[in-house]
Amino acid sequence: MAALVAGIVAVYGAVNGAMFWVASRHPTALVGEDYYAESRRYDAVQSARGATLAAGWRVEAQAPRAGEIALRILDRGGRPASGFAGQALAWRPNDPALDQALAWREDAAQPGLYHAAFARPAAGQWVLRLALRRGGERLDQELRATLP
């Protein structure tokens, strides 16, 4: 009977040790170091998103191929919006080592369609922070996309 109890305690300890080891090897960005700054950034993102929605811009993200992301930008009337330039930060909440900036290029054959390739692609959900400009117009939005 004592051997059974000792065995159960040993298995319990080994499983918890393995979970601790896995958790400590994969740090995440789910918890920030400066909560106040994070909340201020969130407020700024929401304010910029509200301004983008008020302007009537609609952004749709899709992943046509592994390691690539495409954005379709439409104006208030649903027409493709051409001529935007800028950057997007792509980050993975569960693996900050994959965070990266994306360089966008507009598809010459399809106005309003923008492509970017990931330097370090990984399947799963990504958060994209867009900061695009066209003349004096701004398109700031945060959206999620899933890479295959």
Query: 29: which residues sit within 8 A by CB, 6+ positions away?
Result: 91, 93, 94, 96, 99
What Å distances lie between residue 17 and 14, 20, 21, 24, 94, CA to CA? Answer: 5, 5, 6, 11, 21
Domain boundaries, the chain: 31-147
- Return averaged pLDDT per consecutive 10 residues of the chain, 148 residues in all: 90 89 67 72 76 83 88 92 90 86 91 92 90 88 87
Q: Which tokens belong to 48?
A: 């910029």
Quick count: other Cβ atoms within 10 Å of Cβ 13?
10
Fold annotation for 31-147: Immunoglobulin-like (2.60.40)
Per-residue pLDDT at 37: 78
In whole angstroms, what is the distance from residue 68 CA to residue 85 CA?
Answer: 17
Is 134 within 8 Å of 86 (Cβ atoms)?
A: no
Q: State the maximum Cα–Cα separation within the chain, in Å, rounded to a whole number.
A: 78
